[in-house]
Amino acid sequence: MDSHGQYERRIVWTVVDTGIGPLLLAATGEGLVNVVFHAAGPVRDRALERLASRLGTEPVQAPGDPLLARAAEQLTAYFSGARHSFDLPLDWSLISGFNREVLRELASGVPYGTVVGYGALAGRVGQPGAAQAVGAAMGANPLPVVVPCHRVVESDGGIGGFGGGLEAKRKLLALEGVLPEPLF
């Protein structure tokens, strides 16, 4: 507890190397709270500043934290093809409302090796016609890869956008067998 009788929120973080580059993993006592692409140098530093601002406390580097170690192990297994789902507690505090509803449906209802269209996902949460809002929710996903926004594609067969970059989305979809492996 702090001096005001409030429980302090602790944020721990580490960076793991993956098949799509370094990912920053951050967790609270509730669970994994943030995954950030391209987590080296200034990108990592900006992500940590945003976390501190949004959650009200400075993140502490702690690669040995049990939850972060478990998340890193599961990501390593995922990128090696040995794991098809994640079994981690998630802290949804960085997202709310429609975006949280869409991301929860995505996490529970779109398994490894499958894709869903933006419009179809909107329909699953009772908002047919909200495909653009689903796209915005994917862009706001604080837990990419673990909450698999890479599995959301355009209804016409296009790959759609991706916060980690289209090359990363292609690699993730290839890893899951949805797309052929990139030639280069």
Q: Catalytic amino acids?
A: 149
Sign of the torsion formed by the C-alpha atoms of 74, 16, 60 and 49: negative
129, containing H or E segment: none
Q: Are 26 and 51 in contact (CB under 8 A)?
A: yes
Instruction: Please give the Cα distance from 156 to 159 (Å, whole number).
Output: 9
Q: Are 88 and 32 in contact (CB under 8 A)?
A: yes
3-state helix vs strand vs coil in the chain, percent to 5: 40, 15, 45
Q: Give the burial string for 170-179 (b: 16+ CB within 10 Å, else e).
A: bbbbebbebb
Instruction: Please give the Cα distance from 90 to 81 (Å, whole number).
Output: 22
Instruction: Please give the Cα distance from 24 to 1 (Å, whole number).
Output: 27
